[in-house]
Amino acid sequence: MDAATPACAPSGVAWDGISWADVQRQVRRLQARIVKWTQAGRHNKVKALQWLLTHSFSGKALAVKRVTENKGKNTPGVDKVIWKTPGAKTNAIASLKRRGYSALPLRRVMIPKKNGKMRPLGIPVMRCRAMQALHLLALEPVAETTADPNSYGFRPERSTADAGEQCFIALARKTSAQWVLEADIKACYDEISHPWMVANIPTDKVILQKWLKAGYVYQDELFPTDAGVPQGGIISPVVANMTLDGLEAMLAEKFPKAKRTGLKMHMVRYADDFIITGHSKEWLEHEVKPAVVAFLAERGLVLSPEKTKVTHIDEGFDFLGWNIRKYNGKLLMKPSKANVKAHLDKIREVIKGNKTAKQANLIRLLNPILRGWANYHRHVVAKETFARVDTYVWSMLWQWAVRRHPEKGARWVKDKYFKTQGTRNWVFATTEKQEDGGKKELVLLKAADTPIQRHVKIKAGANPHDPQWEPYFETRWGKRMMNLPRGRAKLYRVWLRQDGLCPTCQEPIAIGTPWVTRFIVKRTDGGSIAAGNIQLHHPGCHGIQKYAGNKL
């Protein structure tokens, strides 16, 4: 396929002429019907609708849009092909056909893990990515409808904060369970049974088989894949989730009176990490754990001996970067020591790697890291940890500043790099000149300035693909928008004016959604920066290609 050759889509519309609002509407309508018939148990209807969606122009266009606008859009697979031009994207839509499709092997790269080991990441070619994105559109409505109620990993509208809040609900009361089974599946993505997935995942079996058996290329050598799903595939997280779905229902069936008879069983899962609460250590070890082992064995999986253990709540346990523990009967969730250490190590690495950088550039590098980490922990008991982290960061920055001027005194260094703002004297800040002659002050963020706000957990049965839940999600998005920082009040007014939707594709702009601003009347044409002249769009929508990393 020649990327430079323009071509038209089957409907006669080129890439730049596609109405994304119509595309989204068509896909959402089919997904809603899939949910309806999944709930009714009409599997033949579901299969027919999945076939219709995966063969529709709207589904194919949306799949190509996703893989050409995400973070990996410029990362090629083994064929070194990427889709950049409108012509290449239009041709890509026409190439997403079941007949004649053959999955190419993945390009394997190794990325470091927190424990010092390496994690294999598989990078499919663009066409395989788009095919996976296409079939994910048809599979995700089924997955969301049949998922475990307390599964929170890699699911739309769910997050680690929801999992943390469910842990609090299950463990906070005086009468709550005192023992917790911390479970971790050994090499989950690499060991899932292929025959089990082909037999049980409700998607196109032929296409799924081709993905699973595609193999991978590492150091110019081709290796076969006999088990597992590739880490890096678009559809892999949903397939892995569906492999583990049913564990909560199995436990409820095996121990039907667990909650009423004082066994106090609750389960919280995020991807392949999960906890199960219980009234005693012996019950969790000798009854619950064997049931979990048998459930996983059917899928070719085993528990990790090093990471699976039963812990008393007074000793506490780490889960998703938090330490969850009772102190004198009161449950507190705090950032874990390992998570704080990893955060400080990352900051230290950035500072050491920019010994000669301008202060403004260093602040630009550090602020996203500080903001992201603080926002992640803003729902737990983190004020003391935030203050301690700010102290460590200040110490690193003082060493960075003093090293740059070995012949200067401490007062001179302080006056150059640390400013006074209100009642604060040691604020790492600088003033930078702008191209228009003005000045802009850049200030390093402090974690302690992040307000602690209790997270409202998503309802267990909420399904973003079910139209019946649409008012709930709209209300939820609106409430979360109320927590925007004061400096984004203008953007909040814009978001309200747009009813929370992107004007181009009519899809929601929610918390965590990437966005870009667009002036209705260009500044060069005399447009102002007032809220009435601003629109919020998704990256790639309305011809906007540049993305500065903004997230609401």
Same domain flag for 328 and 422: no
Residue with tokens 């007032």: 530
N residues, the chain = 552
Same domain flag for 172 and 295: yes
Same domain flag for 367 and 243: no
Same domain flag for 396 and 506: no
Confidence (pLDDT) at 87: 92
Is 4 part of a structural domain of the chain?
A: no
Task: Tell me which of 226, 244, 274 is where a domain ends.
Answer: 226
Is 7 part of a structural domain of the chain?
A: no
Residue with tokens 């699976």: 308
Q: Would you give the DSSP letter of residue 232?
A: T
CA distance 265 to 178: 10
Confidence (pLDDT) at 438: 77
Is 26 part of a structural domain of the chain?
A: yes
Is 301 part of a structural domain of the chain?
A: yes
CATH value at residue 291: 3.30.70.270
Same domain flag for 170 and 268: yes
Looking at the 3D structure of the chain, how many domains does it have? 4
> Are the beta carbons of 169 and 161 closer than 8 angstroms?
no
Confidence (pLDDT) at 479: 60
Is 547 part of a structural domain of the chain?
A: no
CA distance 505 to 541: 7
Task: Tell me which of 400, 415, 449 is where a domain ends.
Answer: 449
CA distance 364 to 482: 26
Is 2 part of a structural domain of the chain?
A: no
Domain that holds residue 292: 148-192+234-332
Task: Tell me which of 226, 245, 273 is where a domain ends.
Answer: 226
**Cα dihedral 266→267→268→270 (10° resolution):** 180
* 3-class secondary structure, 492: helix
Please, which residues have CB within 8 angstroms of residue 444's CB and are 6 or more apart in sequence?
Answer: 363, 366, 367, 370, 393, 397, 427, 428, 429
The burial of 463, by beta-carbon neighbours within 10 Å (0-12 exposed, 13-18 middle, 19 or more buried), is given as buried
Computed on alpha carbons and rounded to an integer, the radius of gyration of the chain in Å comes to 26
* 3-class secondary structure, 439: strand
Helix (H) or strand (E) holding 161: helix 160-171
Same domain flag for 239 and 341: no
Helix (H) or strand (E) holding 217: strand 216-218
Same domain flag for 240 and 312: yes
Helix (H) or strand (E) holding 360: helix 359-376
Same domain flag for 302 and 394: no
As averages over each run of 10 residues, the pLDDT of the chain (552 residues) reads 41 81 88 96 96 96 93 90 93 93 91 76 93 97 96 93 96 93 91 95 95 91 90 91 95 79 86 93 95 96 92 96 96 96 96 94 96 95 96 96 93 93 90 80 94 92 89 67 56 82 85 74 56 78 46 46
* 3-class secondary structure, 151: strand
CA distance 139 to 350: 40
Same domain flag for 38 and 137: yes
Is 10 part of a structural domain of the chain?
A: no
**Cα dihedral 373→374→380→381 (10° resolution):** 120
Sheet with strand 439-443: strands edge to edge: 418-421, 424-433, 439-443
Same domain flag for 307 and 317: yes
> Are the beta carbons of 462 and 149 closer than 8 angstroms?
no
CA pseudo-torsion sign 188, 464, 518, 19:
positive
CA distance 223 to 194: 16
Between vectors from CA 72 to CA 1 and to CA 81, what angle results, nearest 5°?
20
Tokens of 434: 């702008």
Same domain flag for 432 and 483: no
Is 549 part of a structural domain of the chain?
A: no
Same domain flag for 441 and 480: no
Q: Would you give the DSSP letter of residue 18?
A: -
Nearest to 333 by CA among 454, 469, 243, 156: 454
